[in-house]
Amino acid sequence: MRHPSALILTAHYGNGHLQAANVIARKLKQKGFDPIVSDLFGESYPAFSTFTQSLLVKSVSYRPSFYKWFYYGTKKVNSKGLSQFSRYLGRKRLQELINEHRPYFIITTFPLHAAPFLSKRAGFLIPTYTIITDYCIHPYWINPLIDHYFVASESVKSTLLNQNIQEKCITVSGIPIRPEFEMFFDKRVFYQKYHLNQNKKVITVLAGALGVLKNVKELCQLLVCNPSYHIVAICGKNKSLYEKLLPLALRFPKSFRLFGYEEKVHELMAISDCLITKPGGITLTEATALQIPLILYNPVPGQEGENARHFEENGAALVSHTILETVKQVHELSSNEELARGMKKALHIIHKSQSSTLITDFAINQIEQQDLILR
């Protein structure tokens, strides 16, 4: 017997969109659905997609002023005009996917305007739901043909309301993350597994899935000198960064742990007393689930900067712009228990648990309600 299908559209512009899509797919499969995850741009325009992904990484890493201009410049452009322009991007591939799989609904974790346009205007009448994967929103996400938005915070909801999106079409769900981050942990097991001393502060430097955090070597060199710290550096898929840090790991085997791409990163994060990272939406949400005090290092103007501002204003993170400022903040967090406790409390307030369950239950319930109406 064939399972009902659902189409999940995403893109590889940053790792967060794909992560959220895979979490939703996993949850739908548990609920008896056949989820189809599609990188719509990548499948429609592979060469262009690869080029623009590379351009994004380089602009974020080496030309943040260009990315700032792009993000805020396009923010001033009429959002309706943006969505009108992009509704044709990937349309042919999307129609193929719909014809082949006949999905009950479409969920997007990236602003892909072909989905709501095609599902409504081409006679398919397929509900389209959008998950916004940051704690801020760019106008490009907004499309009047989207049936429902799932957002991370009340502030994002307020922005949508100001753009004339009806309140009944918005749910503050949080951002979907892997269930491992919301499980109960016996942290002693992880301390033993990774040979870390429970009596030392575990300072984790997370370079991100693509390893774009800058000046990691210089930062680790300053931190590892403190005998009360255990430094954990996670390089993601950045082999060059891993090789740069390897001499440090060999020199300080008892106080420095080095990792590349770590599938069980939740275990290392769970025993961290402080996390130094970039303010991506998924990483921030994982930190809220584990209540790890955050230092957000040198956020790039754009959604990183907006995410960082949201967490800083809510007392859930410190923001630094230099290596020395970061080191100072690590010392402050490590010595000031009241500051750390306050940050953990703020992270707990921000966190919305079981986001993937809420989103998938909503989509499935809409189908069931429609069936009742048709009967």
The pairing of strands 128-131 and 106-108 is: parallel
Alpha-carbon distance of 237 to 69, in angstroms, equals 27
What confidence score (pLDDT) does residue 34 get?
Answer: 96
Q: Which of 168, 201, 177, 372 is nearest to 295 (CA)?
A: 201
Contact (CB, 8 A) for 60 and 16: no
What is the DSSP-derived secondary structure letter of residue 236? T
Contact (CB, 8 A) for 292 and 272: yes
**What is the dihedral sign for C-alpha 208, 157, 340, 328?**
positive
Q: Which of 52, 47, 25 is nearest to 36 (CA)?
A: 25
Give, for all 375 residues of the chain, the pLDDT tens digit. Answer: 578 999 999 988 777 899 999 999 999 999 999 999 999 888 877 776 676 666 666 555 556 665 565 566 666 555 555 556 677 777 889 999 999 999 999 999 998 888 888 776 666 789 999 999 999 998 888 888 899 999 999 999 999 999 999 999 999 999 999 999 999 889 999 999 999 989 999 999 998 755 467 889 999 999 999 999 999 999 988 899 999 999 999 999 999 999 998 889 999 999 999 999 999 999 999 999 999 999 999 998 888 999 999 999 999 999 999 999 999 999 999 999 999 999 999 999 999 999 999 999 999 999 877 654 444
Full strand arrangement of the beta sheet holding 201-206: 256-259, 229-234, 201-206, 274-277, 294-297, 317-320
Q: Within 10 Å of residue 341's Cβ, how many Cβ atoms?
A: 12
Chain centre distance of CA 372: 36
Residue type present at position 141: W
Q: Which of 32, 286, 292, 262 is nearest to 183 (CA)?
A: 286
Alpha-carbon distance of 180 to 265, in angstroms, equals 10
What confidence score (pLDDT) does residue 72 get?
Answer: 61
Q: Which residues in 251-263 are b (16+ Cβ under 10 Å) and which e?
A: ebeebbbbbeeee
Q: What are the structure tokens assigned to 339, written together?
A: 């500051």
